[in-house]
A = this chain, B = another copy of it.
Amino acid sequence: MINPWAMKMEQFTRFTPHERARLDALLVGRQRSHAVHADIIAEGAHSDHCHVLLSGIACRYTILPDGERQIMAFLVPGDLCDAEIFVLKRMDHAIGALAPCTTAMIPAGEMKTLLREVSRVSEALWWGTMTDLAVLRERIVDHGRRDATERLAHLLYEMLLRYRMVGQTDGETFDFAITQTDLADATGLTPTHVNRVLQRFREEGLIALRSRRLTVVDPPRLMRIGRFSANYLHLERTLSGDPAVRDRVGDLIDYPAVDYPIDARQGELR
């Protein structure tokens, strides 16, 4: 059985066969599918179940008073949607499906039991939360100090890496159902501008994107253009861990460090 949730945690820890079986069992018979554009969890909702995304792609978002949507994070298979239910009364944002998705709904009680009994899972949850924080901080860097080109390059590269972690890529190609409007709402740009930048990427032979499949043709250059550094994802244990797990992402995060030229910002891609 494919269990992206366990696969993600394996980037941090190593489960015994018994633990792994328990994680798998937790998902059985609790699957639910969600249509595109449906809310997996509504803003203001309170549930006594945790939602784990198993397939598809979703986002955390909020609608501002003037009707604009801001996407605050993308969720890929393996991501936990609502760790906050353990302590907060209600969701302060919504989780929306950007493509048809399936989730597993785990009763909060069972999750708490699991966390109490299997310390490795409890640590992995903590690791996942700390990584979520780091990803959000990185997004702030994107918005604050990177221009449109860098921002999109950085985001695309991160997505490739995150899909790789849970084994849902075919080399440098993966399902990419995110529309340019979604990207705009996530990056704080306009769809128009996102379009212009992506076209440029294609012209330059950096990526290929057709019928919702994205291929990163030139990963090292995309990484360079996005000024991407993987350290914020905290995969240090990955590189020294199980070879099978390491190989899922290894080649994407150990490009030699590059000294970025201080000049050459706008216009020319690097």
Interface of A toward B, CB cutoff 8 Å: 12, 60, 62, 64-68, 70, 72-73, 83-84, 86-90, 92-93, 123, 126-127, 129-130, 132-134, 136-137, 139-141, 143-145, 185-188, 227, 231-232, 234, 236-237, 259-260, 262
Contacts and interface: CB of A to CB of B under 8 A. Distances in A.
Given A64-B141, A140-B136, A260-B65, A126 B70 contact: no
Contact of A72 (B64, B86, B141, B234): B141
A187 B144 contact: yes
B140 A70 contact: yes
Given A87-B123, A92-B134, A227 B65 contact: yes
Given A67-B262, A87-B130, A140 B139 contact: yes
Contacts of A260: 65-66
Contact of A89 (B134, B227, B236): B236
